[in-house]
Amino acid sequence: MQTTKYLGIWMDHSTAHITELINGTTLSRTIDSQPQPQLNEDDLYYKDESHMLKKEQNQLASYYNKLSDIILYHDEVVLFGPTDAKSELFNLIKDNHLFEKIKITVKPTDKMTEIQQHSFVENFFKT
């Protein structure tokens, strides 16, 4: 018998709180995106806005790639949180054939404590 793997990701542009439900067990972890670019010697030389924006976009893309890699190993996923980050991630992966068998839902929510996030994920997948 195949076990269904559920995943809930509460996210904004700086942090993702991941809640996995597998065989009645709840596992959680956090991934940070490092939204503030680290300044290095090149940044001091190329201190124009386009360079800094490109660096920020690269960090955000790396953050979304980490989350996408986690999503691949689950059957059903709910992306939730207070910002547009969840929709941005969804739009990046929705047309990728690797995700076509994964049911992904996007839900807007307010800021939540870790306990509220776990409860939200558990209640979402009960139905």
The confidence band for 42, taking pLDDT boundaries of 50, 70 and 90, is: low
Number of domains, the chain: 1
Residue 73 lies in a domain: yes
Give the range of the structural domain holding residue 16, as residue numbers without chain letter: 6-126
pLDDT of 122:
95
pLDDT in tens, 66-120: 999 999 999 999 999 999 999 999 999 999 999 999 999 999 999 999 999 999 9
Residue among 53, 82, 85 at smallest CA distance from 66: 85
Contact 26, 39 (CB under 8 A): no
pLDDT in tens, 44-74: 555 677 777 787 888 899 999 999 999 999 9
Residue 91 lies in a domain: yes
Residue 103 lies in a domain: yes
What pTM does this model have?
0.84
Residue 17 lies in a domain: yes
Q: Which two tokens stand for residue 101?
A: 């068998």
Residue 96 lies in a domain: yes
**CATH number of the domain residue 19 falls in:** 3.30.420.60
